[in-house]
Structure 1
Amino acid sequence: MYQEKIITPPSGIRMIAVFFALILLCGLLAMATQSFLVLEIILIACGILILPGFIINNPNEAKVLTLFGQYVGTVKTDGFFWVNPLTIKRKVSLKARNLNGHQIKVNDKLGNPIEIAAVVVWQIKETAKATFAVEDYLQYVSIQSEAAVRHLANIFPYDNFEDEEATITLKDGAEKVSSLLEAELSERLSRAGIEVVEARISHLAYAQEIASAMLQRQQATAVIAARKLIVEGAVGMVEMALDRLSEKNIVELDEERKAAMVSNLLVVLCGDRNVQPVVNTGTLYN
């Protein structure tokens, strides 16, 4: 319904020559005789009507032309032109623009309140849709961008602490999340003839009411992961020590002595403090 039609109007230089020719002709007629008064008035009126038809189109700029409520076409070529002086001319910028979205509070897939914001780079691709399909394309971009960010936050968890099966999270899946956001925005804004150049998450954090609790949970998870790694390494080292002692025939250990050695080595390797040496003057059995 609002298919863009690109037109190239005649050069304005030619119409300037016609305008000055009319002025010169009026002057000559005025000096010649008064009997051409009506013709002079007509020529002057024609000259005045020519002036509103001149337009200057700058680079990355377009003029949308309408005549008596009907869409005539769009001038996208930069330069100096002349169009029908009765047409209404709307200037539309084709430059890329940034939308720095506001931080909004929304629940993620697991219901956790989070704060999220996005930066969208967009530009007008079809001037007819941007002019006639929506009331205000600037407001339309702002509202639809916020709606897309809210929808994206609702379908993915913030992280995979609570949802270990999640393959995409808002925190770690930056490239995939940005790609999905860009695709959804392109679909939403196509109605207004707007092309999404890039869309990125610019702010992501837990809401203030749960930020402290989530930080403690992340710290606890990090400590558990570190302890697990330490224990796995310590078990490997104890196993290697027992194997080497057995291979070298340095000492023969029964099951009770092995258990004591394993206990001591695990305490030394897994402890979070420096070990204090103890001299044993007795034996294991007294």
Structure 2
Amino acid sequence: MKEKKAWFIDGFIGIVLIVALLLGAAFTFIQEFIVPAIVLVVLAALLGSGLTIVQPNQANVVIFFGRYLGSIRKSGLALTVPLTIRQKVSLRVRNFNSKKLKVNDVEGNPIEIASVIVFKVIDSAKATFDVDDYEEFVEIQSEAAIRHVATKYPYDTFDDHNITLRGNADVVSKELADELQERLNVAGVEVIEARLTHLAYSTEIASAMLQRQQAAAVLSARKKIVEGAVSMAQMAVEQLASNGTIELDEERKVNMVNNLMVAIISDRGTQPVINTGSLY
């Protein structure tokens, strides 16, 4: 199905025609022309059945004995084909807040995740005829898309090159919106925005995962500190060698590098030992 424009005219013109037919019916009835009067009344009733009111940001789907004739989007009073059913479809922007879903991330950790979906209907024919209930369809497909996207990434990691649910919310939201749009095209719905509103470890593993995060953070920090300490020690040895002020043999170089590494990497402030020379 694809939306098309239904035939209609200004509803006030229809009211004028209906009033004219009723006046004609009254006049012919006074003249004792019963059959023409009845015909005019029937015609007025048929025209009256075609009157419909379209609200702003709303579409009226016109159905004539099971056949789709088109949709009316122009707001106001309209006169369309008589004896038709007009089904109203809202074109307004809507929000859908998903429930907190418990899923497993790519590493198998159970997490709780929820999102808000902003959408609107752009094709009233698809929303009416291609799915049973497009609002329920949006709800079910949103939850399915959230589950699928959540299982593709880890909740968190200390590797800057990996995409995570917590650290790359914009990327995850963009992928969620794209996947949801593919699912909702059949219903004539446009996804305007999809954002994560809740993201956390499940209660049964939250404490353990917090300890794991702390341990991973300590290891990551230690790695950075060691890399910086090695670079600083190497730079100090090279600078002393290039200046030529102090000549160090291999043993003294090793001792100096060892002292620098201990001073930089140690958690607590180091206490220097000053060599004042021998008294004897």
Does the CA-based 8 Å contact 1:67-1:87 persist in structure 2? Answer: yes
What is the aligned partner in structure 1 of residue 4 from structure 2? 5
SS at match of 1:56: strand
Shift of 1:190: 1.7
SS for the counterpart of 2:151 is helix
Task: For 1:224-235, list aligned pairs within 5 A.
Answer: 224-235=219-230
* Displacement of 1:189: 1.3
Give the drift of 1:196: 2.0
Tell me the amino acid that sits aligned with residue 132 of structure 1.
F
Give the SS at the match of 1:155. coil
- Displacement of 1:103: 1.5
Aligned to 1:221: 216
The TM-score, its normalising length taken from structure 2, stands at 0.85
Corresponding position: 1:40 with 2:44: no
In the TM superposition, residue 221 of structure 1 has moved relative to its aligned partner by 2.0
Write the letter of the residue equivalent to 2:44: G
Q: Shift of the alpha carbon at 1:137?
A: 0.8
Unpaired runs of at least 5, structure 1: none
AA aligned opposite 2:61? V
Matched, 1:209 2:204: yes
Distance apart, 1:22 and its partner CA = 2.4
Per the TM alignment, residue 102 of structure 1 is displaced from its structure 2 partner at its CA by 1.5
Pick from 167, 171, 195 the counterpart of residue 200 of structure 1: 195
Cα displacement (A) at 1:76: 2.0
Q: What percentage of residue pairs aligned between the two structures are identical?
A: 50
Whole-Å separation in 2 of the counterparts to 1:43 and 1:97: 45
Query: How much has 1:147 moved relative to structure 2?
Result: 0.7
Distance 2:27 2:92 in 1: 48
Task: Describe how 1:42-81 pairs up with structure 2 within 5 A.
Answer: 42-81=39-78
The answer to which of 138-147 and 226-235 deviates more is 226-235
Q: Is the 8 A contact 2:7 2:70 kept in 1?
A: no
Please give the TM-score of this superposition, normalised by the length of structure 1: 0.84
Q: CA RMSD in A?
A: 2.8
Classify 1:251/1:42 alpha carbon distance in 2 versus 1 (closer, same or farther; 3 Å): closer
Moved over 6 A (4+): none
Trace 1:126-145 onto structure 2 (pairs within 5 A).
126-145=123-142
Query: 1:252 Cα shift?
Result: 4.8
Deviation at 1:250, TM superposition (A): 5.1
1:9, distance to aligned residue in structure 2 (A) = 0.8
Question: What does 1:1-286 align with in structure 2 at a 5 Å threshold?
Answer: 2-29=1-28, 32-33=30-31, 35-160=32-157, 167-246=162-241, 251-280=246-275
Gapped runs of 5+ residues in structure 2? none
Letter in 1 for 2:225: I
SS in 2 for 1:199: strand
Equivalent pairs, count:
279
Q: Distance in 1 between matches of 2:247 and 2:11?
A: 105
